[in-house]
Structure 1
Amino acid sequence: MTRIIQSLAEISEPYDALFCDLWGCVHNGLEPFAEAVAALRAFRAGGGVVVLVTNAPRHRASVEQQLAQIGLPEDCWDTVATSGDSARAAMFTGAIGSKVWFMGESHDRSFFDPLALIEDPVDIRETPLDEAEGIVCCGPFDPHADPAELRPQLLYAKQKGLPLLCANPDIVVDRGESREWCAGAIAALYTEMGGQSLYFGKPHPPIYDLSHRRLAALGRDLNNARILAVGDGIHTDIRGALGEDIDSLLITGGLAAAETKTVTQPEPEALNAYIEKEMVTPTYAIGFLR
């Protein structure tokens, strides 16, 4: 049974670290949420560690730069683990070959920046689709266009047997009041068409391994029982936490605001109906991180 809480402080005592989602929980792509910032600061003030665990299809430095640009204070988090870094490690070890076709927007090209942690990295070269050995998918070329518009390219890729490396398993994200498609929508379509999609972000294990390594680098090698996952994606943040046996806090005012009838808090009956429908049960729920 999911417990609806009023604040993070209400349940934070048993936890030494947060694996906290970014988009929809801490910011909306345009500006930080003041109450979320205050909650994270209070958690850190009590000795906790905040790992920002994001399905952003870029490396950590790029995400940190974005956070600075939108004004997220550095004193509310400790370190960052990105789906992009997990996926980049796979690419540079040859998971999809050396000749790749890129899908995404121009700002996602930092995905190809060198990764010093990999010994003898594969020499990756961008090519046209008809010369590629694999696909790097950081998202659609146009985040507002229906992913089905990419069916012709995906059908050709499937016929060639190209693996698709999905750098962001999210299906959609809300930028302010505008909903955008993510790489996960394309990967899901490719899988549905019979293609092979490789995932590295939430809810899949590689990003949790990376998150633990980020904790260890801070001198905090913690048992999962001492970690709380926070997120608004029931099939990414919450399902991933369940798979790792980590307690979870669902932020219902994000992607599931309509389904849970969240204004300031979820309506209990709507929340229970949503959980039953999605068949994923968080430990706790709250309207917004505060």
Structure 2
Amino acid sequence: MVIISNSSRRASITMEKLRSLGFDPSLFVGAITSGELTHQYLQRRGDAWFASLGRSCIHMTWSDRALGPSSGAALPMKLDELEKILDQCAAKKIPMVVANPDFVTVEARALRVMPGTLAATYEKLGGEVKWMGKPDKIIYKSAMEMAAVDASDCIAVGDSLHHDIKGANAAGIASAFITGGIHATELGLGKFGEVADDIQYMLLPSKTMLILHMCSLHLHGEECTY
């Protein structure tokens, strides 16, 4: 098994976290994260797109809502201030690399806005975005290389329709959809072990787009409950 995560952290940190959660890391081939991919591509510069990048950057760290100056210190900013920076960057045609493409994450039954939402905003402003994680097939390719298998030998398991299932489809990999995760409330599920009916499954794509739109509208509020 290989863990594929949109976490902006390095893969080694993800593997260490497994042990703290009670899992035996030896049961896994390894982990590939968006942060690990970003680190590798920026370091190696073997890809033509990354080779064309300069050596300086504006580093936005989501957890602290910070914009990192050249000194390396964090400079806290509100989301509306970050959007003003994005507008200026788009005008200057500065490319963006997203080390965590998730739009939202679930915290206590609330959808908390994640970096992918900010990146999507940048695209709408006309900015160029390199998505280093699900649903882009780049992360699935890395996972298959790590496990030394082909797409026909894989099955991807995840709870996000947009990231996990869409990404698996793009990579030509079979998938298993976990209904009790990020889409649980949309599917009308409140307890572990409950099963959604066929109608809820059919309505899920439209509900997902609606919630993503709501989170975009509530970007300044940081979260949208559902």
TM-score tier (shorter): 0.7 to 0.9
**Moved runs in structure 1, 4+ residues, more than 4 A?**
275-279
Deviations 1:55-92 (A, max 9, x none): 11121112222333344442553311111121222222
Q: In the alignment, what sits opposite 2:48?
A: none
**Structure 1 residues 227 and 84 mapped into 2: Cα distance closer, same or farther (>3 Å)?**
same
Q: Which position in structure 2 is the counterpart of 1:182? A: 114
Q: Which amino acid aligns with 1:151?
A: E
- Structure 1: where are the runs of 5+ without partners? 1-49, 108-124, 129-140, 217-221, 280-290
The one-letter code of the counterpart of 2:150 is N
The equivalent of 1:274 in structure 2 is: 204
Aligned to 1:206: 138
Q: Is the 8 A contact 1:96 1:165 kept in 2?
A: no
Contact 2:106 2:112 in 1 (8 A): yes
Q: Quick one: higher RCO (CA 8 Å, sep 6+), 1 or 2?
A: 1
Identity across the alignment (%): 27
Query: Which residue in 2 is equivalent to 1:99?
Result: 56
Instruction: State the Cα deviation string for residues 238-259 of structure 1 (Å, max 9, x = none).
Output: 1111111111111111111122
Q: For residues 55 and 193 of structure 1, what CA distance do their matches in structure 2 show?
A: 23
Q: What does 1:208-247 align with in structure 2 at a 5 Å threshold? A: 208-216=140-148, 222-247=149-174
Greater Cα shift, 66-75 or 192-201: 66-75
The CA RMSD over aligned residues, in Å, is 2.9
Query: Which of 52, 61, 68 is 2:19 aligned to?
Result: 68
User: Scaled by the length of structure 1, what TM-score is found?
Assistant: 0.60
Counterparts of 1:34-45 in structure 2 under 5 Å?
none
TM-score normalized by the length of structure 2: 0.75
1:197 aligns with one of 95, 119, 129: 129
Helix, strand or coil for the counterpart of 2:176? strand
Total equivalences in the alignment: 195
Query: Gapped runs of 5+ residues in structure 2?
Result: 46-50, 210-226
Which secondary structure does the structure 1 equivalent of 2:54 belong to? Answer: coil
Q: Which has the higher helix share?
A: 2
Q: Deviations over 1:244-283 (max 9, x none)?
A: 111111111111112211232222211122147669xxxx
The separation in 1 between residues aligned to 2:187 and 2:53, in whole angstroms, is: 39
- Report the secondary structure of 1:262's partner residue: coil
